[in-house]
Every structure is written in C-alpha cells, then in structure tokens.
C-alpha cells in the first residue's frame, strides 16, 4: 500500500475492479453453451460459434448459429402467439412489461457485468447508463400500453416484428426494440449482434420468469446470414434495424415492394461546433464525453470537431492535454474511461481509417498513455489538417477517432456541418444564445445546444439519410 501522502500528491487512481463471480456462475450454470429461445423453450445448442471477452481474449460461451429452419420456427411461434397477445388488451400487456422492468432492475448488477464482459465497455457505463435505461424503456412503454385504447383508438398492431440490433448497446437496444413492440400487441423475433448476444439470452430467462406467453418473444443468435433470413422471411410484417448505413441500404432494397413496414436507425458523422465565445474548458470536457464515450462506438458520437479558427490552437491544446489523462484499460475497473474494442475485426477497421487519414495528409495525435498488453484496445485519437472532402472526414469510423476542421464564420460552420450525407445529431457550443439558436436553425439534425448555464433538450428537426427513426409506438401500429 502506498502512504496516503504519496496518493494525495499524485492523485493516481488505484484499481477498483468489479467482481465477475455472479456472471461467471450464470455462464457455468449453462455449461457455457446456449441454444435458441423459441416459443418459451430452449433448443439444444448446435452449430456453435464462440463469444469472447475482448478485454482479455478469454472464451465466455458458445452460441448457436440459427438455421433457416430455426428462423421458420421462431416466426411461426410469433405468428401463433400474436392474436392472443393482442387480444389481452393494453392493461394486461402492461403488467407483463412492468414485470420485465422490475426483473431487469432486480438483476441489474448481473446484466451490467455480463454486458461489460461480452462487449468490452466500461462497467461505469453499463451499470450507470445502459441497464437503468433499459429498465426505464419497459416502464415507459408499460405506461403507454395502458393508454393505447385512448390515444391510438383507430390503430391495430402490425403483427410479427423482426428486430436486428448492433453490438454497441446490446441490452439497451433490445429494450428499445422489444418494449414498444410488445406494448402495441406485436410479437417479436429478435436477433442480437453476433459479438454480444449474452445479455439477450439472459433477458430470455426473464421472459420465462415473468411468465410471458409462449411465442411472444423469440431470440435467435448467429451472424449476418441469420439477419438476412429474418429480413427476407415472408412471415415478418415489420423490420426494425439499427446498424450500418451500408447494411441499411441492402435491407431497404430487399424489402422494397414486399409490404413490410421498416424502420432504420443507421450511421452518423455528427458535427461538434465550438464557437470562439464558448467556454473552451467545458466544451473540451463535453467533447471527451461525446466522442470517447463507449470507445467512440456510438452512432451519434461527436466525431467531427468544427472549431472557430481564432481559438482552434488553444482549444486543441486543451483537448490534447485532456486526452493525456484518459484512462484506457480493464473495462471492469470502475476507474477506467475507455474499455476494449468489441472485436479484432472492428479494431482493424478503425486502424485502417487512421491510416487513410494519414495518407490524406492528416496529422495524428495519440496521447502517450499505457494500454493493456492483452485484449483489444485502441488509444483515443485526434486527426487534424484534413480537407472537408477527405474520406476520414466524410465516413463514419465508429471508433475512438476524432477528426478536426476549422471555420472562420458561423455561415462557414453551418456549411461544413451540413457537408455530409449523414444527419443524425449535432452539438453547438456558444455563450451567445442568438448565435447558438441561429446555428441550430441551419442544422437538419437532432441538435444539442450548450449555452451559458443553460442546457436545451435535443430538437428533433431532421432525419439522416435512409433513417425513419428508431422504432417508436406509432411505428408498431397500423390504422384500422
């Protein structure tokens, strides 16, 4: 143990790891082999693929690669269950949603640790953000289920909903998709990401504990072929997909003319605009949260910094100094800022984009901080001196990579901000409310304004390319 005087002098963070005992015990109870959850029953594990902990490479479990026949069984189960589930009425469905919300809260610590083991994100994020929000989604939509007969009297459920989510927020995306679908009387066939399926399988157990009727929720695992099977299945009435823009385009083409309802929540390259009158220290801290939260693996991350030219040098110096104090390491350590990248293939993609930025003339800054010797980790990275048309500026990287541009006037800032095919989010930092509101009016984004002592809620003023927004209540209903 270091003497207290030395600790106070250096203010170093000591390790504070979260115990994995309960999560490891849950995996062991299943012999670390999982089948599919169809019609409230577990299938025998077959055609197995591995799920690893990206922080140390250890094997967590083996999961089942669903076949075409498995998809047929899941859709058939959902189809059988849907009329009776819809006929229950909103109040009785709400009871089931409340039960699921309470069970998520009851097992919140297990979910948080399991999510961190499977995904590599810091335990602080899963424990304090992801899992509480997942529970709130079920509470919120339980309330809406009770109001459906009043607020949506002329609507009826869509039917069977196929849902496909990415790996960056596994349980939160699950709740985002499943809760509104169930509230409206639909049944679901849900596919988690191949890399991060464990929290969805734990949720399947909660469906059994809540005594959800058989077939209402069906969870099948596997790679992109399973997702493709869901997209093309004739028994699916609606598709809800969150993921890359490239895959979203393919889904849109595959479903064109099929009559399926569709909601896509795709990529982003969101601008983070800092005007000369902004509180630069606050803006730098906000930018750290915006781009390096969850290792930058967030669709609405502030991955394009636009800073006014006359304060750019000062602001970038502050940002670089702050980057040098970011802690990258074991995501189970409660003192860590950034955890592991989800998979080696994702690390390779991130690194390739940094190399592209260098080839395009960019100047790369990476702080001199220690990275773990084991696991898949990437340092926070800043790329400057790029042209607005550079690929690294235009394309979503989905990693801890920030690209920076400068501007001279507010009109140029808006022009640069809008010089992208994405339109998911934006952030404006200024102490001048008129300037900030004027800038906001020129952005077709869901924008967060940061003004002097005032925080404005996001203004949903536009949609990104191919985005019909994430599934919400009205998306899950059809006018009768």
Task: State the fold for domain 271-460.
Answer: Aldehyde Dehydrogenase; Chain A, domain 2 (3.40.309)
DSSP 236-267: -SEEEEES-HHHHHHHHHHHTTS--EEEEE--
Write out pLDDT tens, residues 403-460: 999 999 999 999 999 998 888 889 999 999 999 888 888 886 555 554 433 333 333 3
pLDDT at 467 over 60: no
Nearest CA to 402 out of 417, 379, 429, 380 is that of: 380
Q: Where are the domains of the chain?
A: 21-266+468-479, 271-460
- Mind listing the pLDDT tens digit for each residue in 98-141? 999 999 999 999 999 999 999 999 999 999 999 999 999 999 99
Lowest mean pLDDT among 191-195, 295-299, 422-426: 422-426
The token pair that represents 439 in the structure block: 């800038």
Tokens of 329: 């390491």
At 352, is the pLDDT very low, low, confident or very high (cuts 50, 70, 90)? very high
Catalytic positions, written as ranges: 265, 299
- Taking the C-alpha atoms of residue 266 and residue 256, their distance in angstroms, rounded to an integer, is 18
| Homologous superfamily, domain 21-266+468-479 | Aldehyde Dehydrogenase; Chain A, domain 1 (3.40.605.10)
391: confidence class by pLDDT, cuts 50, 70, 90: very high
Percentage of the chain surpassing pLDDT 70? 93
The mean per-residue pLDDT over the stretch 336-350 comes to 96
* End-to-end Cα distance, the chain: 69
Residue 10 clears pLDDT 90, i.e. is over it: no
| Average pLDDT over every residue of 325-335 | 95
The full DSSP string for 49-99 is EEEE-TTT--EEEEEE---HHHHHHHHHHHHHHHHHHHHT-HHHHHHHHHH
């Amino acid at each position: 143990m270091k003497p207290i005087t030395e600790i106070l002098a250096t203010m170093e963070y000591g390790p504070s790891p979260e115990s994995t005992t309960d999560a490891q015990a849950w995996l062991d109870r299943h012999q670390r082999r999982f089948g599919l959850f169809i019609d409230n029953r577990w299938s025998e594990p077959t055609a197995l693929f591995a799920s690893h902990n990206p922080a140390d490479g250890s094997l967590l479990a083996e999961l089942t690669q669903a076949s075409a026949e498995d998809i047929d069984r899941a859709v058939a189960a959902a189809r059988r269950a849907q009329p009776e589930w819809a006929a229950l009425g909103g109040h009785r469905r709400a009871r089931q949603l409340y039960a699921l919300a309470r069970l998520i809260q009851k097992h919140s610590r297990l979910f948080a640790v399991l999510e961190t083991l499977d995904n590599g994100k810091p335990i602080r994020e899963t424990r304090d953000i992801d899992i509480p929000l997942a529970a709130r989604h079920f509470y919120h939509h339980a309330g809406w289920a009770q109001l459906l007969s009043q607020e949506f009297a002329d609507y009826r459920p869509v039917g069977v909903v196929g849902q496909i989510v990415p790996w960056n927020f596994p349980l939160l995306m699950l709740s985002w998709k499943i809760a509104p679908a169930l509230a409206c009387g639909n049944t679901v066939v849900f596919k988690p990401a191949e890399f991060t399926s464990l929290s969805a399988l734990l949720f399947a157990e909660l469906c059994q504990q809540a005594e959800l009727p058989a077939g209402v929720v069906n969870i099948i695992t596997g790679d992109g072929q399973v997702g493709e099977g869901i997209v093309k299945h004739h028994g699916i009435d609606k598709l809800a997909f969150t993921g890359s823009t490239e895959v979203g385009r393919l889904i849109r083409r595959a479903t064109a003319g099929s009559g399926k309802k569709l909601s896509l929540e795709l990529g982003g390259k969101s601008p983070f605009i800092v005007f000369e009158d902004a509180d630069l220290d606050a803006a730098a801290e906000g930018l750290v949260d915006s781009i390096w939260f969850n290792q930058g693996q967030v669709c609405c991350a502030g991955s394009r910094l636009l800073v006014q030219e006359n304060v750019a040098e000062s602001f970038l110096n502050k940002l670089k100094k702050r980057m040098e104090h970011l802690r990258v390491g074991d995501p189970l350590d409660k003192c860590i800022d950034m955890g592991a990248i989800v998979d080696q293939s994702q690390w390779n993609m991130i690194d390739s984009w940094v190399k592209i930025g260098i080839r395009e003339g960019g100047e790369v800054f990476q702080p001199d901080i220690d990275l773990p010797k084991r696991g898949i980790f990437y340092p926070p990275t800043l790329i400057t001196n790029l042209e607005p048309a550079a690929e690294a500026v235009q394309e979503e990287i989905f990693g801890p990579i920030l690209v920076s541009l400068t501007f001279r006037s507010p009109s140029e800032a808006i022009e640069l901000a809008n010089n992208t095919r994405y339109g998911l989010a934006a952030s404006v930092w200024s102490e001048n409310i008129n300037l900030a509101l004027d800038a906001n009016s020129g952005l077709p984004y869901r924008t967060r304004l940061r003004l002097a002592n005032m925080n404005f809620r996001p203004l949903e003023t536009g949609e990104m390319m191919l985005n019909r927004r994430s599934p919400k209540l009205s998306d899950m209903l059809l006018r009768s």
